[in-house]
Amino acid sequence: MTKKHTKSSGIAALVIGLILILGGTGTAEAERVGLDVGPSDLIKDQWVWAPEESPSGPIVVVVSLNEQLAYVYRNGIRIGYSNVSTGKKGYETPTGVFTVLEKSVHHVSSIYHAKMPYTERLTWGGISLHSGGLPGYPSSHGCVHLPLNFSHLLFEADSMGTTVVIANDHEGPSEASHPGFVLSPLPLEDDDRTRPVLGTDAYSWQPDRAPDGPLSLLV
């Protein structure tokens, strides 16, 4: 074997080795990060899942089209958030309040014949939450793309009938398009969880601040 061939073989082996090393760590699980990384600090397909923040209760999913982020709340407390990719121009993801109508682990699109792992159908017209590509901008045909392992965890945690809110800055309150740690119709910051509670003999009642809508209690 000539020196030229030996050098080429060595370079090829090095490239293959790098591919194997990078490929072994480039899984969806590797992009899971801790609570020290806030929603606005997530990059590309990073995500957070912290079910211990609220171990039980009903789940609500909020998708912010402006932020390209999904937030998961259980019993009104945020337990997860993730980058998403929503509908591109001409295929905009609809806004509104939806419920999960159907769930399928191995769904395949009847329109585009594409695999849609962990599908949670929101409309009978084809809009769903599911695992999909995350290029960092709206790129789907209307669905909400989630990271693979994040979509798996959400799929296992929620149920049929789960409420999903999709909002932007032009439709609905800013608390829906830019939600905080606590799911509330009033603007709350992440440090609200550290504020002291009222004493046993104190209370606050201001019904004029939210004259209508659902009533929520956090215990």
Cα separation, 152 vs 95, whole angstroms: 23
Asked if residue 24 belongs to a domain, the reply is: no
Q: How many domains does the chain have?
A: 1
Interatomic CA distance for residues 94 and 110, integer angstroms: 20
Closest-CA residue to 148 (of 54, 26, 39): 26
Tens digit of pLDDT at every position of the chain (219 positions)? 555 554 455 544 443 443 333 333 333 444 899 999 999 999 988 999 999 999 999 999 999 999 999 999 999 999 999 999 999 999 999 999 999 999 999 877 766 666 789 999 999 998 999 999 999 999 999 999 999 999 999 999 999 999 999 999 877 667 777 888 888 655 555 555 555 555 556 677 778 776 766 665 554
Residue 208 in domain: no
In a domain, 13, yes or no: no
CATH of the domain at 89: 2.40.440.10
Residue 85 belongs to what domain range? 30-181
Is 211 domain-assigned? Answer: no
Assess contact for 71 and 78: CB atoms under 8 A.
yes
Is residue 108 in a domain? yes
- Does a structural domain hold residue 15? no
Copy the structure tokens of residue 95. Answer: 């806004």
Domain membership of residue 47 (yes or no) is: yes
Classify residue 190: in a domain, yes or no.
no
Residue 149, token pair as written in the block: 């392992």
Q: In terms of DSSP H, where are the helices of the chain?
A: 3-25, 148-157, 174-177
Cβ neighbour number for residue 182 with a 10 Å cutoff? 17
